[in-house]
Structure 1
């Protein structure tokens, strides 16, 4: 499985030769070659990057996710391999036929783990345990919206004078990190034989990644911690630098706890999708395992 995340931020041409990605910077005669089997994710940040449909097709064969960015250098397009699983039809049938009680139990588990991970962020940064008391209050389907209640408290502790969707560097960093996680989950959702648009809790007809937006919830606190550690001034409205983005891309290689193992966040994305399939087949929400911070009980 590929492990390298490549960020292309300058005009260049990308091609494929001898099972290698060939990077040719503009105004340069030197090529840089990277074996396709080593690549997990490609970020196309500059608008003047040239590549062929053949490269896109080969990336699909090698299970490589490609992000394309807008003029503000934020990911706005995800290209991910599709239907690589040998039993896609049966898996999709199970996904479509999820009962409401089953979906509610899955969402309860996701929200509980999200709050647990948020609580661990506050413990790491501030030795604050305020969110712990909310975890067991989450009911099936989170019908009392404990997630929303804890979210308000969480952000008020994590950042000063913070508004989630305001145009600040903190939000730019959060959005960038979340986009990388969302695309990575979308890749493994598709390669596990699942349909990304059929979610557990998220169900918008306009959203092609409802399931990714469900499964990402317990992963978000890992990005939150990274952004908090950047110590960005709450009034800073500058865009992310190349160094900022390179730092945020390391999220995929950060270590987390999954079951009784320490693995990378990228591997946790893959295992979460695989376990989601197992939970569908056996109609048992307890089978779904989610990432934790290392050392979490």
Structure 2
């Protein structure tokens, strides 16, 4: 990596995700090729600094026709059960986030109690409509154009890329989801499996006083993936918890396990590393 003042070398094995956050950066075809071979996610931003696209390697080392056939034939009952666990874990994390912010959780607990197999009544969406105005402010909507939504979108894009990288590295396709089923979404499966960890992005963003998107805020969101936590009872960091979670889900869908545990325990690290007043 070369700038006007320095030349820095970083081993490819040390890079999981490379975010190009300016349209003024130049990257060679050779670099893109080598990053793809090392299964590194390469994310490009638009003129506003918002992530707009990412690379997907055609040839992960362990993708096979047999593995793809298995994915196309995933059992419908397993997909329904996994989506139920994912939604339950996501709502549980949203409740934890509200508790950390000392906010009311009764409405979310009520909706969580109505969750059914495969979330046929769409409790996930119902909870989201109640959750975000509680976490940020009355009248807050995810579709609004404001700095907080910009930060959320940025964090979600990074999370999705990490999930997608793990899916591809395992030899599976990101297009075939268990719940999301949009022909225009190349990352349906990633959009499904990332859900339990999205509230961690929400928590971090809600702790900041954001006036505009800037480099410090973006760096903070990138560094969030080194957050220390417990996942299924084991001490780890967020990025490793996400990879473990995706691996567990794929094993279950492929019939190699009979259950998926999704238990996240948060510490207090976000509060002590908040960057209020600087973003």
- The match for 1:55 is 31
Instruction: Report the CA distance between 1:277 and its aligned residue.
Output: 2.0
Structure 1 pair 245–24 and aligned structure 2 pair: CA distance change class (3 A): same
Structure 1 unpaired stretches of 5+: 1-22
Structure 1 residue aligned with 2:190, among 203, 206, 212? 212
- Superposition pairs for residues 29-48 of structure 1, below 5 Å? 30-48=6-24
Secondary structure at the residue paired with 2:71?
helix
- The match for 1:163 is 141
Structure 1 residue aligned with 2:260, among 243, 268, 288? 288
Kindly indicate whether the alpha-carbon contact (under 8 Å) linking 2:233 and 2:263 is maintained by their aligned counterparts in 1.
no
Secondary structure at the residue paired with 1:230?
coil
Deviates more, 1:34-43 or 1:188-197: 34-43
- The match for 1:261 is 234
Kindly indicate whether the alpha-carbon contact (under 8 Å) linking 1:174 and 1:224 is maintained by their aligned counterparts in 2.
yes
State how far apart, in whole Å, the 1-side matches of 2:172 and 2:15 are. 23
Structure 2 unpaired stretches of 5+: 268-279
* Higher-strand-fraction structure: 1
Secondary structure at the residue paired with 1:193?
coil
Structure 2 residue aligned with 1:224, among 202, 214, 219? 202
The TM-score with structure 2 as length reference comes to 0.88
State how far apart, in whole Å, the 1-side matches of 2:27 and 2:207 are. 36
Kindly indicate whether the alpha-carbon contact (under 8 Å) linking 1:184 and 1:266 is maintained by their aligned counterparts in 2.
yes
Per-residue CA deviations over 1:257-283 (Å, capped at 9, x if unaligned) read 221212122112211221122102227
Structure 1 residue runs of 4+, over 4 Å off? none
Instruction: Report the CA distance between 1:35 and its aligned residue.
Output: 2.2
- The match for 2:111 is 134
State how far apart, in whole Å, the 1-side matches of 2:58 and 2:227 are. 26
Q: CA RMSD of the aligned region, Å? A: 1.9
Kindly indicate whether the alpha-carbon contact (under 8 Å) linking 1:256 and 1:291 is maintained by their aligned counterparts in 2.
no
Instruction: Report the CA distance between 1:85 and its aligned residue.
Output: 4.6
Count of paired positions: 265
Instruction: Report the CA distance between 1:87 and its aligned residue.
Output: 5.4
- Superposition pairs for residues 73-222 of structure 1, below 5 Å? 73-86=49-62, 88-126=64-102, 128-130=104-106, 131-160=108-137, 161-222=139-200
The TM-score with structure 1 as length reference comes to 0.83
State how far apart, in whole Å, the 2-side matches of 1:175 and 1:137 are. 28
State how far apart, in whole Å, the 1-side matches of 2:58 and 2:162 are. 13
- Superposition pairs for residues 265-284 of structure 1, below 5 Å? 265-282=238-255
Structure 1 pair 258–88 and aligned structure 2 pair: CA distance change class (3 A): farther
- The match for 2:271 is none
